[in-house]
């Protein structure tokens, strides 16, 4: 089987692990930088994909690892492979859905997934006034389109929150603020592949003077997934339509609340914490898609409206037909 991994570099640890796992199973694996892929459209039924201006040879399946910094162009490349009927391990629309944090939370909340108290505003003063709505400090402050490693901060005091808000909003970023429970809750990450939860870790951020990201310097510990963690993470991945997803859960006394979904999760750190090979299941899912397995994305297309509750009706409105 010919596998194409879309990634800025083959040396990136997660990309390298996927390549190693694919080759270990006897597949031909190539890594393409999405920015070096050109697309030619002419209104015909077949568009042309080129790499460094040379026509790309066919591939059996594509595994996207699109960096947020090239999201717009990279997702156009993913979408073009999809239009050519190449199986995708994460569809472009599902990746885009997961990366808009507020829209993802809106989708999940509308379908019965519990999420932490969340507020969004454009003004720092308004956000400071709304701290009480998310339970007070500490709080999570997140860039609306933030990168996984750099887009989430924990602010442990009103002073650190004020400094973070001024810095982030001053750069023109949109942010959301969420409740964060340290003393009675657990920060859980669940890796879901092909609709199945396969691994989980606890994330324990190291304290900082002002604020710190959850991932930079965080300690990961292996976690035996509870039925609640497993069911919640699997439902979230199906709703968003992701074949590969890291579902981040705030677990407060056994009650899971989903606070984020990531479409290109880091693998090496989770492998080190769990002692598991997490790259091979991704390759196995790619094999299944090529063999004709139903993609998670097709189920996501069918479920949103069906899962929405019916609109509340407070009375019957009689409409008289016009007289002829």
- Residues 29-69 have pLDDT tens digits of 999 999 999 999 887 666 789 999 999 999 999 999 998 88
Round the average pLDDT of the chain to a whole number and report it.
85
Q: 314 or 43, which is more confident? A: 43
Question: How much of the chain, in percent, has pLDDT values that exceed 70?
Answer: 83
Q: How large is the average pLDDT for residues 296-323?
A: 50
Q: How many CB atoms lie within 10 A of CB 187?
A: 21
Q: 138 or 314, which is more confident? A: 138
54-55 and 48-51 strand pairing: antiparallel
Q: 202 or 304, which is more confident? A: 202
Exposed, middle or buried, 261 (CB in 10 Å: 0-12/13-18/19+)? buried
- Distance from C-alpha of 157 to C-alpha of 205, rounded to nearest angstrom: 16
* pLDDT, position 68: 86
- Cα atoms in the Cβ-side hemisphere of radius 13 Å centred on 104: 28
Q: How large is the average pLDDT for residues 119-131?
A: 82
Altogether, the residues listed in the chain come to a count of 324
Residue 209 pLDDT more than 50? Answer: no
Q: 255 or 232, which is more confident? A: 232
* Sheet containing 118-120, strands listed edge to edge, beginning at the edge strand earlier in sequence: 118-120, 175-179, 139-143, 152-155, 211-213
* pLDDT, position 88: 98
* pLDDT, position 224: 95
Q: How large is the average pLDDT for residues 99-125?
A: 89
* 211: confidence class by pLDDT, cuts 50, 70, 90: very low
Q: How large is the average pLDDT for residues 251-278?
A: 93
Task: Give yes or no for a cis peptide into 138 (omega within 30° of 0).
Answer: yes
Residue 319 pLDDT more than 60? Answer: no
* pLDDT, position 311: 46
* pLDDT, position 32: 98
Q: How large is the average pLDDT for residues 194-199?
A: 98
Which of 223-232, 250-259, 283-292 is least confident?
250-259
Question: How much of the chain, in percent, has pLDDT values that exceed 90?
Answer: 58
* pLDDT, position 318: 39
Which of 71-75, 180-184, 220-224 is least confident?
180-184
């Amino acid at each position: 089987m010919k596998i194409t991994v879309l990634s800025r570099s083959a040396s990136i640890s997660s990309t390298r692990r996927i390549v190693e796992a694919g080759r270990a199973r006897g597949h031909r694996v190539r890594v393409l930088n999405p920015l070096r892929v050109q697309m030619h459209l002419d209104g015909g039924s077949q568009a042309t994909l080129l790499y460094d201006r040379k026509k790309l040879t066919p591939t059996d399946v594509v595994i996207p690892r699109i960096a947020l910094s090239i999201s717009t162009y990279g997702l156009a490349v993913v979408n073009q492979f999809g239009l050519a009927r190449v199986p995708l391990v994460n569809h472009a629309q599902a990746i885009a859905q997961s990366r808009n944090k507020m829209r993802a939370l809106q989708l999940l909340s509308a379908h019965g997934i519990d999420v932490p108290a969340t507020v969004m505003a454009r003004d720092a003063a308004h956000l400071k006034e709304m701290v009480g709505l998310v339970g007070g400090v500490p709080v999570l402050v997140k860039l609306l389109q933030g990168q996984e490693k750099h887009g989430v901060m924990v602010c442990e005091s009103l002073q650190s929150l004020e400094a973070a808000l001024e810095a982030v909003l001053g750069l023109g970023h949109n942010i959301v603020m969420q409740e964060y429970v340290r003393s009675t809750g657990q920060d859980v990450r669940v890796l879901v592949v092909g609709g199945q939860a396969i691994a989980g870790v606890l994330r324990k951020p190291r304290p900082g003077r002002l604020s710190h990201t959850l991932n930079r310097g965080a300690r990961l510990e292996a976690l035996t997934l509870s039925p609640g963690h497993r069911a919640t993470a699997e439902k979230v991945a199906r709703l968003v339509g992701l074949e590969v997803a890291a579902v981040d859960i705030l677990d407060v006394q056994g009650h899971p609340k989903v606070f984020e979904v990531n479409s290109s999760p880091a693998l090496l750190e989770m492998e080190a914490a769990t002692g598991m090979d997490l790259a091979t299941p991704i390759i196995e899912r790619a094999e299944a898609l090529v063999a004709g397995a139903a993609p998670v994305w097709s189920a996501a297309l069918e479920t949103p409206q069906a899962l929405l509750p019916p609109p509340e009706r407070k009375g019957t409105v009689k409409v008289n037909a016009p007289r002829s």
